Structure formats: structure tokens, C-alpha cells
Amino acid sequence: MTFSPNPDAVRTANDAPDAVTFTLGDAVRTVSAVGDAVVGTELGFGLRVGALATAIARRLKLEEPAIDAIGYAGMWHHIGHTGLPLDSPFIDRSARAKEIAAWEAPLAGAAISRATPAIPAAVADAIRWHREAWDGTGFPDRLRWNGIPQAASIVGVARAFLAGTASRVEPREPDEVLYELMNSAGRAYSVGLLRAFRETVMFEPDACAPGAEPALPPLYGNAESARALFARVAHTIDGRDATTIGRTERMGRSIAATANALGYDRAFIERATMLATFVTFGDLAKIAVRDELDPLARMARERRAPEIALAQRIAKRTTTYAPYAPMLADVYEWFDTKRELAIEARLVAVASAYDILSRVIASTSTAASKTLDERIYAAAGTQFDPAIASAFVTELRR
Amino acid sequence: MIDLNDSPRRIAGSRLFDILAERGVGSLVDPFMGIPMHLNFLKRHGIAVHGGDVIDWFVRVGEGIVVNDFTILRDSEVGEIVEVLPARIYPVDMFKAWEGVFFTEEQCVYLGVWHANVHNLRSDGQTGLAILGLWFVLCYWLQKATKNDEMPDIPPSELAWQYIRATERWVTQNGRRNTVRRGDYLATLDAHPNVDAMFFAPPRRNALLKPDSRIWMWEAWWQGDPYLNIERYYRDSAFGARMNDDLTYDRALTGVFAKAAAVPTIVVQTEAKEAARFERLLQATGRTTELVAPSPGELYFIAKR
């Protein structure tokens, strides 16, 4: 397995780990794809919203920094949905309860944006209030009129248009959605904004075409900031289900300890941790809380196929993270398969199985620790790489 | 034609909640609450809220979305608000004075009908929701009067139906006692001596002498008097006097801070050009101040005892 990250995205200044020369563009795009996945649109939807929103902003002759902020807000407008609780088979939440829960999504998205230093500060507010309505009936704050930041309204109208035309469930003709939005003048959006929006859609069809992307200046940070961003998003995804809170962090710790014990370098640990993060992104294919299947059963592999497929699609969106796609296919593959599996994937496979087992057993039995170790050992050589499984359990005991 | 001078000022409950949650605030009083959307947000997030204002319809709306924990309107009840009911005599001329000036003849008739129907409701919660929903209709009409060609014609009862239905979604409960009262800030603060915090978004100088047209107009509608002048509500209040000098304005602000002396935390929302004034006045009360500026237009002073 060779690993060839995008040369634009690697550290360049003497390979110093904290050098502020890392292009965050691919990380930001990946997070946008995560947002697309969680709201169930095609991957690239966030980029399209960003492209249309920046085109509207240019037509309104906003200043460049504001336009850039609008572009990023469009890309990330839906990222807060990653934190919405999963449906539970045991609790029949009403449509109203789900709607009220969704009011929190823009706030969660704004929090993720605000916690990302490289993202312009104005992006958080545009995400926070992009679902507000001009008349004061939107959410989360029911701001009205000019109290709503213009950037937020622009992102909001771009999202509404593309959500109508690109809906997977019921896609509609652009003219139909345009008509509907123009009819919301004075209620959902201001007359002035809708005028600019209509002109953009009519005269700049490329801005809302499939595959459109906003032209934005590169964001710079260090490599750590990209990892921190992914960790934050993964943490939010883990929080959707009470049983998985902190899962990615736990896996990251056990991966690092095992890799250190086996003598792997820092780059390996970073790759393996990133792989675990992508496994978490794949978790977005799950739309409801469900019983975890025994991770040591072969059936679990098939059951997780949609999750792995989603994680691969997200990874393939950018050249920096595309090399993780084949590794993701290896995560739930068994060691005794005929092909060579990526070592990072072998490590993540053990860490993931252990994490699931520890949660499942913890909820059913108190004498769990020994049983867990035994079960991991028992799968060594068939499901898991025996060297990695052994080191993993040794490190856990330590 | 009416001048709709939309202020870019925003009072965002979510922003306020971020500040309060970080500081462990469990109850809050806002003696100048206005339309209490922010209190509704805080209530939904578990904070006990208490509001006060001198404008009656603000207080009525507060009864709908702040005090009210569960009452909504059934379809038939919304119908009885928005439609002209048979076999009833309506004061259709009540708002004739606005006809041709702000509204059409049909709109003025509906204002009279809705006034009667809403006053006929027996539940404070339902009344509050109806007043708020119909206020959105008023704003829509006034806006449409200035941009007639670009906004769709929607039948009055349909528009009212949609808006009243929208307000229902905001009814929530937090297991705490939440209140609103009509009165000056003195009475509101007196009534809630044990709250954790006071929120104060002070009116700008002389702002109360030029209230938003939609605010006074809706109070006039609620009171059934199209000639109502709400300046008289404010005349004897802290910020009601004409304040052409800094000293008078400072004195009014100091009065509020002094009255809230027992409240552990005061959160003041202001803007950059007034920041120095509020820092000075708050520090003069012996409190330690902290400035939170989440965006250029929003500054919050958090003053702790």
C-alpha cells in the first residue's frame, strides 16, 4: 500500500509539524461532504450551495471577505446536523419533536465553525442564522428583517433553491422552485435578496449547476488544525447516540498506544487515527440507533458495507484523503483473506471491534474485561492480525 | 406610505444562552423585553425567564410563548379567529382611520374582525399566540404596501391562518415558572429579586420617542384605538424623557443598574460606539465587567457583583 497525499496539502516548511503552511481546503471540503451525507443529499451539495451563494453575493456587490465567508458558510451550512440525535427504535418521536430538535442544527454548525480558527469568524454567524426567515418565523432565534445578517439570508435562499431541485426524494424543476421562492417574498426572504437571487439563477446558470464549486481563497493552518477539525466533527457524530459518545477519541488513544508499542512512526499513527475518523464519518449511513452486531461475526462485515461505502465516497471527494478509500475497504476485511490488508486498517479493525465489544458487554455483563481480551485473542489469526491483536491487548492491560 | 425603518439590531436568544450557560445562570429577568422571542428560546433551553414591558401586546405575546406551557389552538379555534363568523356583528369601522393611509378597505375590515375575535378568546395563551400571529400579518401588509408588485397577494384569512399556526410551534415548557408582567422596570425587578441574571438591551437615546411604526400600530390595534399614542406609555418611564445630553441618558441607565444591585449578573447588550459608556457605568456600580463580542454589531458586557 502506497500512500500519496496531495502535494499541496502536505507540510512544506522543513516538515515542521506545526508550520502554518498546511492547506485546509481539502479538509474543509471533506467536512462539507460529511454535511451532505448527514442530510441525505448527493455529495457536493454543500459546494453547490456555496457556489450559488457566492454568485448571489457578487451580484449584490458585497466585499470580497464577506463573499468568501458566504462561500464557506454555504459549504458548511448543514454540518450541524451531524449532532442531531439518532432516531431510536424505542422512542417514537413525533414529527414536531424532530422539527424542534432540528432547530439546534444551525447552532451546532456554528459552534464547529467557530472552533476552527482558520475559518473566517463571519462564517459561524452565517451558518447560525441561515434558516431565519425575513418575517421572523424562522429558527433558531426568530430574528427578523435586517436583524438577520445578509450573509445568512444569502446562504439560506441558495440552500432552499438547491434543496428543492436536488432533493433525492422529490426533485423538482428549477422553475417551479424559483416560482415558489419568489412567492415567499416578504415572508421567508426580503424582496431585495430575492431579486438578486432570481437574476443569478436566470443569468448565471453555471452557478447552480451540478458540480459547481465556489471559488474561494485557500485557508491555511497546520496539519494539526485539520486533524482537530476532523476530530471535532467525529466527536459530534459520536454524540448522536448515547452509547457511542467519545468513541473516536477512545479508538485514537488505543491506536496510538498500540502503534507505539509496535514501533510505528508518528505518520503511521496519524494515518491510522485519520482512518478511524473516516470510519466514524461512515457511521452517518446509519439513520437510527440499532443494536450493534457482534463485531467478531462475519455477518458484521456485510452489515457495515453501506457505512464503509459512504466513508469511501467522502474520502474520494478530495485528493488529499482519497488514499484512505482503499484502506477503508480493508477495515472490516478479515485477516485471513487472500489479499494484503493495509496495516493501518488492521489496527483500526481491532480498535473498532474492541470498542464495540466493550460497549456491548458493559451494558450486559459486569465481568467484562477478561472476556474481552479472550475474545480479541480468539479472533487473532483469522479476523485480526495476530501481532496487532496481541500488542493491542497488551497495551490495554498496561 | 409608511416608513419601515428596519434596524439591524438583533437580540438573539441563542447568543444570550451561550453567555448564560457558560456562567451557570439558571434564571433571568428582562425588564425591557419587547417581543420576547429571546425569552422563548431561553425557556426552551431550560432557563426560568421573567419579562416585563410597558407595551401591553408584548406582554400578551409573552403570555403566549413565555408563560404558556402547552396551550395551542385547534384548527376550529384558528378558524374562529381569522374568519368572519356568521351571525356576529363586527366593528368593521374600528380601523377606518387607517384606510387608504396604511391599509386597504378589506384589510381594515379584517383588522376589526380579528380585533373582536381575538378579544373573544378566553385563554391568555391562545390570545398571545393569536396576537403574535396576526402581528406578522400586519407587518406583511405594511411591507407589501411599499413593494406591492414584488410580493404575492395572499388572502387575509389564509395569511393569518399560516402565521398563527407558525406561532404554535414555539409553545414549549421547561418545568420552571416563567412570568411576564406589564410595568416599568422597577416593578419587574422588584417582583424577581432572586434571579441569577438580568438582561438589558437598553433603548438608544430618544428611541422610545420614535417607536417602530409596526409596534405602535399593533398596540393601537390591540387597544382598539387607531389614534392611540404609545409615547404616553413611556412618558414617565426611565427612558421616556427626551435625552439630548449624555448626562440624562447616563442617569437613566444608572437607575436601572442601581435597581438591579441585588442581581448577581447583569448582561448588557450594546454596540461598539456605546461600549465605553457601559463599561464606565457598570464599573461605577462596583461590578467586575467582561466584554464578549461575538460579532462586530453585537457586544455584551457581563457585569458580576
CB of A272 within 8 A of CB of A240?
no
Is B148 touching A (CB cutoff 8 A)? no
The dihedrals phi and psi of A53, each to the nearest 5 degrees, come to -65, -40
Give the list of residues 6+ apart from residue A138 with CB closer than 8 angstroms, or none. Answer: A131, A132, A148, A156, A188
pLDDT value, residue B269: 95
**Which residue of B6, B37, B172 is in closest CB contact with A145?**
B6
pLDDT band at residue A247 under the 50/70/90 scheme: very high
pLDDT band at residue A332 under the 50/70/90 scheme: confident
Q: Is A87 helix (H, G, I), strand (E, B) or coil?
A: strand
pLDDT of A84 > 50? The answer is yes
Q: What share of chain B is helix, strand, coil (3-state, %, to 5)?
A: 50, 15, 40
> What's the rounded Cα separation, in Å, for the pair A50 and B77?
43
pLDDT value, residue A321: 93
pLDDT value, residue B5: 66
Interface TM-score (ipTM) > 0.90: yes
At B1-59, the pLDDT tens digits run 666 766 767 899 999 999 999 999 999 999 999 999 999 999 999 999 999 999 999 99
Q: How far apart are the first and last CA of chain A?
A: 31
Residues in chain A: 398
**Which residue of B8, B12, B151 is in closest CB contact with A186?**
B151
How are beta strands A22-23 and A220-221 bridged, if at all?
antiparallel
CB of B163 within 8 A of CB of B133?
yes
A141:B7 CB<8 A: no
Residue B204 burial class via C-beta count within 10 angstroms: exposed 0-12, middle 13-18, buried 19 and up: middle
> How far from B192 is each of A303, B197, B238, CA to CA, in Å?
57, 10, 19
Give the residue-averaged pLDDT of A82-104. Answer: 80
> How far from B229 is each of B54, B224, B226, B232, B238, CA to CA, in Å?
13, 12, 9, 6, 18
pLDDT value, residue A147: 92
pLDDT value, residue A356: 87
Q: What percent of chain A shows pLDDT beyond 90?
A: 63
pLDDT value, residue A384: 92
pLDDT of A225 > 60? The answer is yes
| Residue that wins the pLDDT comparison between B94 and B233 | B94
> What's the rounded Cα separation, in Å, for the pair A345 and B14?
41
| Residue A186 grid cell | 416578504
| Residue that wins the pLDDT comparison between A296 and B30 | B30
pLDDT value, residue A22: 64
> What's the rounded Cα separation, in Å, for the pair A57 and A207?
12
> What's the rounded Cα separation, in Å, for the pair A344 and A349?
9
Chain B CB contacts of A149 under 8 Å are: 295
Q: At what angle do helices B213-223 and B105-119 cross, to 10 degrees?
A: 60
**Which residue of A140, A187, A191 is in closest CB contact with B41?**
A140
pLDDT value, residue A291: 65
pLDDT band at residue A253 under the 50/70/90 scheme: very high
Q: Is the pTM of this model over 0.80?
A: yes
Per the prediction, chain B carries an average pLDDT of: 91
> What's the rounded Cα separation, in Å, for the pair B69 and B171?
6
CB of A269 within 8 A of CB of A259?
yes
Q: How far is CA A106 from the centre of its chain?
A: 15
Residue B282 burial class via C-beta count within 10 angstroms: exposed 0-12, middle 13-18, buried 19 and up: buried
Give the list of residues 6+ apart from residue B135 with CB closer than 8 angstroms, or none. Answer: B57, B61, B214, B218
pLDDT band at residue B209 under the 50/70/90 scheme: low
CB of A108 within 8 A of CB of A235?
no
pLDDT of A16 > 50? The answer is no
The dihedrals phi and psi of A395, each to the nearest 5 degrees, come to -65, -40
A137:B140 CB<8 A: no
| Residue A36 grid cell | 451532505
| Residue B187 grid cell | 416593578
Give the residue-averaged pLDDT of A211-222. Answer: 88
Residue B292 is classified by DSSP as: E
CB of B31 within 8 A of CB of B188?
yes
pLDDT band at residue A220 under the 50/70/90 scheme: confident
β partners of residue A384: A380
Give the residue-averaged pLDDT of A23-31. Answer: 90
Is B259 touching A (CB cutoff 8 A)? no
Per the prediction, chain A carries an average pLDDT of: 87
CB of B28 within 8 A of CB of B260?
no
Is A141 touching B (CB cutoff 8 A)? yes
pLDDT of A111 > 50? The answer is yes
Residue A267 burial class via C-beta count within 10 angstroms: exposed 0-12, middle 13-18, buried 19 and up: exposed
Nearest CA in chain A to B159: A187
β partners of residue B30: B51
Q: Of A100, A127, A137, which to mutate for an interface test with B (greatest number of B Cβ within 10 Å)?
A: A137
> What's the rounded Cα separation, in Å, for the pair B16 and B267?
9
pLDDT value, residue B1: 61
Chain A CB contacts of B132 under 8 Å are: none
| Residue B148 grid cell | 406591492
Q: Of A143, A150, A182, which to mutate for an interface test with B (greatest number of B Cβ within 10 Å)?
A: A143
> What's the rounded Cα separation, in Å, for the pair B27 and B9?
24
Give the residue-averaged pLDDT of A77-100. Answer: 81
pLDDT band at residue A3 under the 50/70/90 scheme: very low
β partners of residue B299: B270
The dihedrals phi and psi of B294, each to the nearest 5 degrees, come to -70, -25
A142:B170 CB<8 A: yes
Q: How far apart are the first and last CA of chain B?
A: 49
Nearest CA in chain A to B154: A183
| Residue that wins the pLDDT comparison between A364 and A56 | A56
> What's the rounded Cα separation, in Å, for the pair A186 and A395?
62
At A112-133, the pLDDT tens digits run 999 998 899 999 999 999 999 9
| Residue B301 grid cell | 458586557
A135:B136 CB<8 A: yes
Nearest CA in chain A to B298: A147
B10:A137 CB<8 A: no
Q: Which three-class secondary structure string do you get for A88-128?
A: ECCECCCHHHHHHHHCCHHHHHHHHHHCCCCCCHHHHHHHH
Is A194 touching B (CB cutoff 8 A)? yes
Give the residue-averaged pLDDT of B211-221. Answer: 90
